[in-house]
Amino acid sequence: MFSKVFPSSVLDDLEVTGDSSGLNVKVAAGAGYVRGHYYASTAIETLTIDAGDGNPRIDTVVLRLEYGSVNDIHLVVVKGTPAASPVAPSLTQTETGVYEFPLANVAVAAGAVTISAGNVTDRRLMFAAAFQAAVGIELAWSQITGKPSTFAPSAHTHAGGDITSGTVAFGRLPTGTGSTQVAIGNHTHDSRYYTESEVDSLLSGKANSSHNHSASQITSGTLSFSRLPTGTGSSEVAVGNHIHDTRYYTQALIDSAFSSRDADISYVQAGNMTSAVYNRDLGGVTRRATWVSNGGALGYASSLREHKQDIAPAGLAREVLTQIPVVQYRYKAQVALQQQNPEHHVAVEIGTLADDLHALGLWQFVTYDGHGEGAAPQGVHYELLGLAAIALGQILADELDTVRERLDSIEDRLTAWRRDGSCHRTGFAPGSVSSHPPPPRSADRTRRSGMSSVATST
């Protein structure tokens, strides 16, 4: 029964490799099933290959399941027969005695004294493919619906219009200087053509016959008043002696309004908050975060999914997030003011440094003085650093889940050993190899019956 549910296959790794270190191959740690019986190895194992004969041969590395008194699964090299055109050896695959599951073929040249990576051919059958084959459903061709009525032959051609995506390989293009060829991207032209520098030199200092000037280019004289669009419209300018109506405050009204306000608004910093208009308790009113654009405008940014595209995980790495420096500092400009006035208070700030975040590659949290590779870091998006903490917390939570799963697995194995003592009765030591299938994982950690022994799980 278990040979159908757990068919002979590889669960994890068990790759066979040669490294030219001699007549041997290495089998990576991993796990698998042989006819429903579980096998696991926690370390790389080295298998010896017999020396080369007069003719080449092919050996096969297998997982050998032996029933009866041996009751074990172990790695074995099945030696092939030397021949001018060798073939892999036949494997023993019985239901009650010995069953050999292939992992790789090893080509042993005539007189070989070493095995290289190129001498090893992988024969592993992974669990997903084996399970699908074991429980899969076969359909007749007539039962398959939606299939094409015709198929292109294996060797065929396409018209240029059939190529609707991707890029044609450069080797397929007819390059050259002929009328039926195309020029390569870095081609040059002969003296029949002006170069860019020659054209720039000819046009230097010359203006179009019909052209305009910016205001900064008017460097002398005074514009005629008649050339100015005067008036009260949005595309006009006011005359010098104009006056304003009641929609505007007069100087006297403004002076009166500010007479009761804090006169010192030269700076606001941590530890030196004033009673100015922006330092008020808003109470229970509805609030939203305010942003300042590069142009100096105040506003807010929508975070609804419908306004965004290219949404993907940020891909922030643990080893980078843990290097974000948290430092305390004082601003140089404030220290300079204190040197001029000892009574001037300089607060000790806490935060991080924009150039350090830039060096770590965390550009998402840095503001720059421009765009492109030449832009220099200027400030820190402190409002976004909370997202870095969330990302690091998620990474640490995943690592904690992995540790918990490993601890649960260890507890399960210890429980099994203490319960039935199988590691002592069958001659197995709790080391790198086990013939017991792993218990199923569930919320109540129940186990399926009939999986405790190689000899009985058929």
Last residue of a domain, one of 89, 119, 135: 135
Q: Specify if 181 maps to a domain.
A: no
pLDDT tens-digit readout, 228-254? 888 888 888 888 888 787 778 887 878
Q: Specify if 210 maps to a domain.
A: no
Same domain? For 273 and 412 the reply is: yes
Query: How many CB atoms lie under 10 A from the CB of residue 22?
Result: 13
One-letter amino acid identity for 65?
L
Q: Which residues contact 273 (CB under 8 A, 6 or more apart)?
A: 279
In the block, which residue shows the tokens 């060829």? 181
Residue 427: band (very low, low, confident or very high) from pLDDT cuts 50, 70, 90: very low
pLDDT tens-digit readout, 261-284? 554 444 444 444 455 555 666 777
CA-based torsion, 8, 13, 17, 22: positive or negative: negative
Q: Specify if 398 maps to a domain.
A: yes
CATH number at residue 53: 2.60.520
CATH number at residue 376: 1.10.10
Three-state SS string over the chain comes to CHHHHCCCEEEEECCEECCCCCCEEEECCEEEEECCEEEEECCCEEEECCCCCCCCEEEEEEEEEECCCCCEEEEEEECCCCCCCCCCCCCCECCCCEEEEEEEEEEECCCCCCCCHHHEEECCCEHHHHHHHHHCCCCCHHHCCCCCCCCCCCCCCCCHHHCCCCCCCHHHCCECCCCCCECCCCCCCCCCCCCHHHHHHHHCCCCCCCCCCCHHHCCCCCCCHHHCCECCCCCCECCCCCCCCCCCCCHHHHHHHHCCCCCCCCCCCCCCCCCCCCCCCCCCCCCCCCEECCCCCEECCCCCHHHCCCCCCCCCCHHHHCCCCCEEECCHHHHHHHHHCCCCCCCCEEECCHHHHHHCCCHHHEEECCCCCCCCEEEECHHHHHHHHHHHHHHHHHHHHHHHHHHHHHHHHHHHHHHHCHHHHCCCCCCCCECCCCCCCCCCCCCCCCCCCCCCCC
Contact 299, 293 (CB under 8 A): yes
How are strands ordered across the β-sheet holding 9-13?
Answer: 9-13, 30-34, 37-41
Last residue of a domain, one of 108, 135, 162: 135
In the block, which residue shows the tokens 């002592």? 424
Q: Are strands 98-108 and 120-122 parallel, antiparallel or unpaired?
A: antiparallel
Tokens for 37, please give them: 């019986």
Last residue of a domain, one of 105, 135, 165: 135
Tokens for 399, please give them: 């690592």
How high is the pLDDT of residue 426?
47
Q: Specify if 164 maps to a domain.
A: no
Q: Which of 85-89, 144-148, 295-299 has the lowest mean pLDDT?
A: 144-148
CA-based torsion, 150, 156, 161, 162: positive or negative: positive
Task: Return mean pLDDT, the chain.
Answer: 81
- What is d(CA 363, CA 384) in angstroms, rounded to the nearest whole number? 11
List the one residue out of 123, 121, 128, 127 whose CA is nearest residue 34: 127
How high is the pLDDT of residue 62?
94
Q: Are strands 57-66 and 98-108 parallel, antiparallel or unpaired?
A: antiparallel
- What is d(CA 289, CA 383) in angstroms, rounded to the nearest whole number? 10
Q: Which of 239-248, 284-293, 330-339 has the lowest mean pLDDT?
A: 284-293
Using the predicted structure, report yes or no on whether residue 139 has a pLDDT greater than 70: no
Q: Which of 57-61, 129-133, 189-193 has the lowest mean pLDDT?
A: 129-133
How high is the pLDDT of residue 142?
64
Tokens for 75, please give them: 């790695």
Residue 176: band (very low, low, confident or very high) from pLDDT cuts 50, 70, 90: confident
Q: Specify if 166 maps to a domain.
A: no
Q: How many domains, in total, are found in the chain?
A: 2
Q: Specify if 296 maps to a domain.
A: no
- What is d(CA 293, CA 282) in angstroms, rounded to the nearest whole number? 24
Contact 5, 38 (CB under 8 A): no
How are strands ordered across the β-sheet holding 120-122?
Answer: 72-78, 57-66, 98-108, 120-122
Q: Which domain holds residue 104?
A: 2-135
Taking residues 140-161, what's their average pLDDT?
73
Query: How many CB atoms lie under 10 A from the CB of residue 237?
Result: 12
Residue 458: band (very low, low, confident or very high) from pLDDT cuts 50, 70, 90: very low
How high is the pLDDT of residue 445?
37
Q: Specify if 198 maps to a domain.
A: no
Contact 357, 324 (CB under 8 A): yes
Strand partners, 10: 32, 126
Q: Specify if 252 maps to a domain.
A: no
Determine the distance from the C-alpha atom of residue 449 to the mean position of all C-alpha atoms in its chain, rounded to a whole number.
41
Tell the burial category of 92 from Cβ atoms under 10 Å away from its Cβ (0-12, 13-18, 19+): middle
Torsion from C-alpha of 368, 372, 374, 375, nearest 10 degrees: -10
pTM of the predicted structure, to 2 decimals: 0.34
